[in-house]
Copies of this chain bind each other. A is one copy, B any other.
Amino acid sequence: MEKIGVAIIGMGTVGTGVAKILLDHGDRTARHAGKTLWLSHAVVRDLKKDRGFEVPEGVLTDDIEKVIAADDVQVVVQLIGGIEPARTVMLRLLEAGKDVVTANKALLAEHGPELFEKARQLGRSIAFEASVAGGIPIITNISQCLSANQIKSLNGILNGTSNYIITRMDLEGTAYDQAVKEAQALGFAEADPAFDVDGTDAAQKLAILAHLAFGARVHWSDVPKRGIDQLDDLDLKYAKQLGYRIKLIGLSRLTTEGLQAVVGPMLVKAGTPLAEVRANYNAVSVDGDAVGPVFYHGQGAGQMPTASAVVADLIDTAVGRTAITFKTLELWSDESNRIEMAQPGDLTGRFYLRFNVDDVPNVMAQIAGVLGQHNISIASVYQHDNDIQNGVVPVVFVTKETTEADANSAIYEIEKLDCVQSGSERLRILE
């Protein structure tokens, strides 16, 4: 049987998972690829570290140059995280004639245009299924399976760390700091989870998906983002009482003004599929003009789910499907910039607004008055005597449909009122 040489750069959690599948299930990958995926090099930093499983003699190396120089390596799984040296290594691999498979979403979100242009010039391919939503094959589904559709919206839970933390807080009443520690102990959060909990990771993934789904050339830093790190338990409680759950959502939607994209904690109607996504799972809901709504749910991270996506990319690259898809997708090429970003302020929707107000007469009338001046109708109000603390009580308004700009102006005015104290909250309701 024909043989195709594979190298892995970076034998952390995911790299080890990929090596396990290649070494333990060679018959399986050979059957799907029509050729043997032969692991020739695995680049590690520390040759002496115990990896808990047997790697054949001569495969492990700490010299990346050996992979770049190896004529018998056709595909490289590039699993170095962060931007540099990951970027330089990927460019050198492409120049050396290798096809690349990667899970590094930060690198693609930051340097996608440069890397994809280089690959096209050199007639090479970059596959990146594992970079978004782990085991959910959302990249292939958008770029291939749903290609007959104009996608109208794509909403997802794209950060497993945040979803684990928020699920613990919501269902078990665990405090934020404690939930972060649990996530770290279970391997669902890194030692420094800043990029997970502040929305950066989800924004990078949403930017990649929005590019694929809408042809929009979105830089992740242009996606307004907020994480779960500033959420108040109180709002989880009120949301539940109103029939919602709070989830960290990446929202993208095609409007007549262009593409809307935003990442943040949002209220999702309890009982709907996205609201019920638990623990470290991810989910993506796509609405296409022909297919209608399609929903995907699976593990968003972890060794073997991510390795599953990497090896599927390896097989696709080995059989030639990646080369075809990569060429027709024209990723981040000048041709692909078909949709402009809309003004974030134009994004319509309903909002959950919480203000901490003095427990004195006429407060409700003043706030409702400001909302009315900004043409914002109120769908429901929630206030409870039990919640009074030191003469201050939280009052929650659920609005009818308005724009982000109107909501922001109204909140600005309301926060200036004498009777309104600090610490208000504003969350979008996902429709």
Contacts and interface: CB of A to CB of B under 8 A. Distances in A.
A292 interface: yes
B145 A25 contact: no
Interface stretch (A70-78, A240-248, A299-307, A362-370): A299-307
Given A140-B140, A273-B273, A295-B296, A148 B324 contact: no
A209 to B, nearest CB: 16
Given A137-B145, A141-B137, A320-B324, A299 B308 contact: no
Interface in A324-348: 324-325, 327-328
A294 B327 contact: no
A168 interface: no
A148 to B, nearest CB: 3
B291 A299 contact: yes
Given A295-B298, A298-B293, A311-B290, A147 B32 contact: yes
Interface string A172-207: 000000000000000000000000000000000000
Interface in A307-328: 307-312, 314-316, 319-321, 324-325, 327-328
Contacts of A276: 271, 273
A307 B321 contact: no
B144 A140 contact: yes
Contact of A299 (B21, B136, B149, B292): B292
A297 interface: yes
A321 B31 CA distance: 17
Contacts of A129: 145
A23 to B, nearest CB: 13
Chain A interface bracket (under 10, 10 to 19, 20 to 34, 35 or more): 35 or more
Interface string A1-39: 000000000000000010001000100110111100000
A311 B146 CA distance: 9
A265 interface: no
Interface in A255-307: 271, 273, 276, 288-299, 302, 304-305, 307
Contacts of A293: 298-299
A394 interface: no
Nearest to A288: B308
Contacts of A137: 141, 145-146, 294
Contacts of A305: 290-292
Contacts of A320: 320, 324
Contacts of A147: 28-29, 32, 311-312, 315
Contacts of A311: 147-148, 290
A150 interface: yes
Interface in A113-143: 129, 135-137, 140-141
Nearest to A322: B321
A144 B316 contact: yes
Interface in A48-94: none
Give the 3 A-B CB pairs with smallest separation, nearest first.
A148-B311, A137-B145, A290-B308
Interface of A: 17, 21, 25, 28-29, 31-34, 129, 135-137, 140-141, 144-150, 271, 273, 276, 288-299, 302, 304-305, 307-312, 314-316, 319-321, 324-325, 327-328
